[in-house]
Every structure is written in C-alpha cells, then in structure tokens.
Amino acid sequence: MDKYKKLLSNTLILSVGTFASKLLVYFLMPLYTAILSKEQYGTADLITNAANLLIPFCCIGITHGVFRFAADEEENNKVVFSSGATVLLCTSAVFLLVSPLISLISYFDGFAWLLTFYVISSNFHTLAKEYMRAKGHMKLYAFQGILGTALTIAFNILFLIPMKLGVTGYVLSVAVADAVGTVFLVIYAKLYKDFSFKFVSKLKIKEMLKYSLPMMPTTVIWWITNVSDRFIVTAICGSGENGLYSAAYKIPTIIALVAGVFNEAWQISAISESKDKEEVKNFFSEVFERYGAVLFLGCSMLIPFTKIATILLLNESYFEAWRFMPVLLIATVFSSLVTFIGTIYTVKKKTTMSLISAAFGAMLNIILNFAMISSMGAQGAGIATAISYFAVFVFRAIHSKSFMPFDLKAGKILLNTAIVIVQIIFMVLNLKYNILVQIVMVAFMCAVNAKSIISALKKVLKKFVKI
C-alpha cells in the first residue's frame, strides 16, 4: 500500500473511533460540571493526574517497548507480547504491595485503593490495545476506543447520579471501563493465544527494557510539564481556581484529539517506512508541513469561539475558564509538534534523547510556574506551559536533524505563531477591535497555510482515485 494512502487510511479509521467516542464525553461535560463542584472537579483532576504519574512507574515503560518491537516485522510477536506481559504482571504485583503508602499523602487519603485500581487497569488495557495497534489491527483498535468511552460514560452516569459517588465515581468509571476493555480484547482478539510463559525471553526483555526504561522517566517528565501547574495552582490559588483551569483544557483537547489520532497512525507509518533514508526524509518533511498547517489553522479558528464553547460545554459557574483557553490552545499545538518530532527518536530507538529534551522542558516549566502563577494566577500556568513546549520543540527540531535532516519550514512556523499570539492578546485582554482582529488573523492564517493544505488534499484524492 502507498505510504500516503496507508497513513490516511489509518488516520481515518482512528478518527472514526476517537471522535465518535470523545464527542460523547463533550456532550456530557455540562452534566459533570453540574454535579461536581469546582472543588470536587479539581480534586478528581488531581487524583487522575496523580494516577497518570504512577502509571509509568508501575509498568516501567514496558508498554512502549511492546508497541515498538511488535511493530517491527522481523520480531516474533508472541515472544514480544509474552515477555512484555510477564514484566507487567511482576511490576503490578510489586505496586500492589507498596500501594498503601499512597495514603500517607494527605491529598489522597482514602483514595489509595482507587489510585491503585486505576493504575493497574490502565496499564493492562494499554498493553493490550498497543499490541493490537502494532499488529496493524486498526479497526479493532478504533472500536475498542469507542467501547471504552461508552463504558466510561455509562459508569459515570451510574456512579454520579443514582449512586451519588461524587469524586470516587468520576474516577472509578474510567478504571472499570479500562478493566472491561482489557477483558474484551483478551477474549475477542484472542490475545490469550499470544501469551505463554514458554515464549518469555530474557534476552527480549533486556532489549525491550533498554528501549523502554528511558521512556519511563520521559513519561513522568511530560506529566510534570502537563500537570505540575495544576498542583501549583491548587497550592497557591486554591482548588476552585484549579477546577476552572482544568476545565479550560476541554477546548484545547479538541486539537490534542486531532493530533493524537494522527500521531498514532503516523508512528506506524514512520516505523514501516524507515529503510530508505532519502525517501523517509522527504516523507517526514511533507507530512510535517501539512500537519503543522492543520494544527495552527485549527488553533486560530478556535480562539475566537472560546467564550461560546465554554457556555455550550460547561456549567455557568465555570464560565471564567474561557480566559485560560487561548493560551492553552497554542501550548497544545507545540505539544503536538513536539510529539511528531519525537517519532524520529522512536524510529531510531534513541529514547535517551527523548528523555533529555523532556527533562529540559520540565525544568523550565517548573521554574516558570513558580515565577508566573504567584503573580498571574492560573493564566501564568498556561503561559509557562506554552513557553516550555515551544522550548522543547526548538530543542528537538535542532537536535533531531542529526538523525533525520528534514525540512522544518521554520519561517512558516514563526509566522503562524506570531498570528496566534496576536489573536491571544486581543482575545484575553478583550482589546478594542477584537472581533475585527480575529477575523483578519484567521483569514491571514488561511492564506499562509492554504497551499500546504490544498496540496495535501490533492495528493490524498489522487491516491484514492487511482484505486
């Protein structure tokens, strides 16, 4: 299959699964914000993000290794899966033994069992679904995403309304859905046939851990970059402000969803097309330019509608959350660009450099958070996050050229960034002629990126018309 067609095909399949499921969550946001107070929502957000911090420690990054090695056609998938699953079983047993220590942290007193269940359920579900993605079962991967979201919503409604479990119900619904999703994949995809202790290879475990272990601190470091601001906002401004700030992420998540779907498909294409250096360089250059055009255009078009989106998606008590959305939108754009360039490290199995660049971003993020949140509140957290992602993007863009010197189109990126910054300033400060400026800037953004997007559409249509 042609590389562009394969990339588009996988992207479309994943899009159906992801957007069908995530749209359901968006429609239920008014329900969640109506039932949970700002303080409760802030607490639930801290619990889930703390769980996301513990997830890589519990699995020591082995789920990344299973995906990368199973995606390699030269590997024995049964050996990869059995070895990875055995490692996860052992690390989960250790995590169960030490989990009571979580209660020593005052924030999570009474929630240790919930965090433990959430972490273990998430890891086993990730192992199963990433193995399916690596094997190319994209339709099943997309379907399990829809199933997982439908289950999460069903359990959310059950736990929040008739059972009135509050914060516990909100978090528990995700963990239970992950557990059911894992069972579904094991039975439907017959994963039990790919697992046996006789397939476990110490050598393969060593190879995968060499790749995966740097991913563990990398994941934690990205967690710091993404979430440390919420803990600092809570400490300095209170859980109510953090509730608003956390809710503000719901609009930027639209961009994150689009980018996430594409990156899942892109990883498969990047790995499978990694043999011819010149062809891969051109492939990366073309895809990156069009990917960036879509991200910046989407960001530019969403900024003027942040107030309207807040009214439609959140309870009226959360209206002030719109103030943080424009800055978080540009932060999400650069986060997505960073992930794209990070694919180079995945293809080349250079995970150590992924770790170093992420550590640089996290350090900068924490310094800026303390400097800005105390004086600017949650808005300072958003600015700190945006600056950090931009810095990591520059770091990776420069360093990755030693592995793959693809054309970054730096001039266009800087111009797109400048357009969005103008929009953010006028929107957040509500300056005179704001509406006119937003219209002009969106039109300018369209003009700058029109050629890239149109050429991409033509290429895609040409590939599919030939079939």
144 φ, ψ (degrees, to nearest 5) = -65, -25
Cβ-based burial of 461 (10 A; exposed 0-12, middle 13-18, buried ≥19): exposed
Query: What band does 249 get if pLDDT is binned at 50, 70 and 90?
Result: confident
Choose between 445 and 215: higher pLDDT: 445
Q: What percent of the chain has pLDDT over 70?
A: 88
Q: Which of these ranges, 22-36, 127-141, 296-310, 325-339, has the smallest mean pLDDT?
A: 22-36
Give CA–CA dist 427/119, Å, rounded.
39
Token code pair at residue 153: 């919503």
Contact between 441 and 419 under an 8 Å Cβ cutoff? The reply is yes
Specify the pLDDT at position 459.
Answer: 65
Q: Is the pLDDT of residue 240 over 50?
A: yes
Residue 200 backbone class (left: φ over 0; alpha: ψ -120 to 50; beta: rest): beta
Least trusted range by pLDDT, from 72-81, 82-91, 166-175, 257-266: 257-266
Are the beta carbons of 11 and 261 closer than 8 angstroms? yes
When pLDDT is averaged across residues 241-247 and rounded to a whole number, the result is 82
Amino acid at 210: K
Q: Which amino acid is at 307?
A: K
pLDDT surpassing 80 at residue 422: yes
Name the more confident of 162 and 274: 162
DSSP-assigned letters across all residues of 333-347: HHHHHHHHHHHHHHH
Q: Does residue 98 have a pLDDT over 90?
A: no
Residue found by looking up tokens 């995530």 in the block: 22
pLDDT band at 46 (very low <50, low <70, confident <90, very high): confident
Three-class DSSP category at 139: helix
Whether 128 and 194 have beta carbons less than 8 Å apart is answered as no
Residue length of the chain: 467
Checking if the pLDDT of 467 tops 50, the result is: no
With contact defined as beta carbons under 8 Å apart, do 340 and 288 qualify? yes
Distances (CA, A) of 181 to 58, 124, 157, 160, 256: 19, 9, 18, 21, 23
CA distances from 402 to 354, 399, 447 (A): 14, 6, 32
User: Scanning the structure block, which residue is given the tokens 């107070």?
Assistant: 37
Which token pair is 225? Answer: 């970059």
User: What is the reported pLDDT for 14?
Assistant: 66
Cα gap 220→118, rounded to integer Å: 17
Q: For residue 373, how far is the Cα from the chain centroid?
A: 24
Inform me whether the pLDDT recorded for 113 exceeds 80: yes
Higher pLDDT, 187 or 36: 187
Mean pLDDT (the chain) is 83
- Of 60-64, 75-79, 135-139, 382-386, the least confident: 135-139
Task: Please identify which residue in the block is written with the tokens 């097309």.
Answer: 273
Pull the structure tokens for residue 38.
């700002």
Which two three-digit tokens encode residue 219?
């994941």
Rounded distance, CA 47 to CA 28, Å?
20
Average pLDDT over residues 332-343: 89
Q: Answer yes or no: are the C-beta atoms of 384 and 372 closer than 8 Å.
A: yes
Please, which pLDDT band fits residue 45 given cuts at 50, 70 and 90?
confident
- Which of 174, 188, 197 has the alpha carbon at shortest distance from 81? 197
- Point out the least confidently predicted range of 5-9, 37-41, 125-129: 5-9
Q: What is the mean pLDDT of residues 362-367?
A: 89
